Amino acid sequence: MQQRTLGPFQVGAIGLGCMNLSHAYGVPPAPEQAEALLRRALDLGVTHFDTAALYGFGANETLLGRVLAPYRSRFTLASKCGMTGVDGKRVIDGRPQTLKRTCEEALRRLQTEVIDLYYLHRWDRQVPIEDSVGALAELVSEGKIRAIGLSEVSAATLRRAHAVHPVVAVQTEYSLWTRNAEIAVLEACRELGVAFVAFSPVGRGFLAGALTTPAQVAAFDARDIRRAMPRFAGEAFAANLRLLEGYLALAREAGCTPAQLALAWLLQRGEHILPIPGTTRIDHLEENLQAGEIRLDGDLVARLDTLINRHTVSGPRYAAATQAEIDTEEF
C-alpha cells in the first residue's frame, strides 16, 4: 500500500476506522467476527487503526487492546477523548482533568503505554480550546501520548489550537457527498502541514451502492445513527437515490466497485488526505484497501464532481441538535 504522512508517523494511505465494530450502526458484530477482521487488517498491512473512548462507551478500545496489543509495534494507534459515555449517555467534556482521566482509562483498555495520536473528539465550547489542547500537551510531555489531533473543528479553531501545541491531524467527515472540509479546513491543514483524516469516506454506506431503496433505510436497526440523519430520510433520500445510477455507471467505467471509486477520489484530492473507512466484513475490508491501487483520469473525476457535490446532494449531514455540537464550517 502507498504510504502517507500522519504527523511523525508513516502509515498506509488507507486506515481502518474501528467505530462500527462496537458502535453506531445497529447491532455490532459478534466478538469473534470483530477480532477476525482486526487480525485480517493487520495481515493486509493496515498500519493505522482509529478508535475512541466513545465507541461502545469503551468497548471498542477494549476490543483493540485485547486483539492488537501483542502486535503494538506494527501500527499507529489513534484514539479520542472529550466525548465519552457517562451513565449511558453521550457527554462532551473538554475540561483538562476529564481529558487526563480519559487518557488513563484508554491506556488501560488499549493495553498500551502510549497512544500514538490522541484527538480531542469534539471541542467543548464551555472550555477554551487552548485549555483542552494544553492538557493534551501535558500528556505529550508525560509520554502518555505522542501527538495531538482534533476532530470536527473549523480552520479558525485549528489555528488557535496549533498556536498552543502542534496539531498533527484533523479528523472530519469528507467524501464526494460531504464537502464541508473544502470551505476552509482542508486548505488550512495543507498550509500548516497537518494531515487530514477523512472519516465516513464512503458516505456512511451510501457511496458503496448497496442502499438502493427506502425500504432498506426503514429497516435500519433502532440504534443506527443514520435514522437521525436527514440525508437518509424521506424526500431527501429519494432525491439522493437518483444520483446512484450515474455514480454506479462511473464506477463500472473506472473498472472498480462503488466504494473503491469513492476512496480513490479522496486519495487523489491531496497527499495529506488519509481516509479511514470502517466495515464489519472482511470482504469489504479487502475491497477498500485495493482502492489504493486505482488511478482515476481527470475527465472521470470531473464528471464525478459534477454528479455528486454539495449542490446535488439533498439534506444536511446532521440533524440540527448534532450540528450545534460541532465546529466545522457549513455552506
Catalytic residues: 55
Distances (CA, A) of 275 to 146, 219, 279, 293, 325: 21, 28, 13, 14, 23
The DSSP bridge partners found for residue 169 are: 149, 195
- What phi and psi values does residue 67 have, to the nearest 5 degrees? -90, -40
Place of cell 487488517: 41
Question: 177, 244 in Cβ contact below 8 A?
Answer: no
Q: How far apart are CA 244 and CA 212, in angstroms?
A: 8
DSSP 8-state secondary structure symbol assigned to residue 28: P
| Segments of 108-213 assigned E as strands | 115-120, 145-151, 167-173, 195-199
Residue type, 102: T
Question: What distance in Å separates the CA atoms of residue 171 and residue 33, rounded to the nearest whole number?
Answer: 27
The residues with which 154 forms a beta bridge, in sequence order, are none
| Beta bridge mates, 279 | none
How many Å apart are CA 211 and CA 48, to the nearest integer? 28
Note whether 269 and 304 are within 8 A (CB).
Answer: no
Q: How many other β-carbons are positioned within 10 Å of the β-carbon of residue 255?
A: 9
The grid cell for 277 is 473507512
- CA 211 to centroid of chain Cα atoms: 20
3 state DSSP class of 329: coil
Extract the C-alpha cell encoding 111: 493495553
Cα–Cα–Cα angle for 129, 189, 316, nearest 5°? 75
Spatial separation of the C-alpha atoms in residues 177 and 195, rounded to whole Å? 21
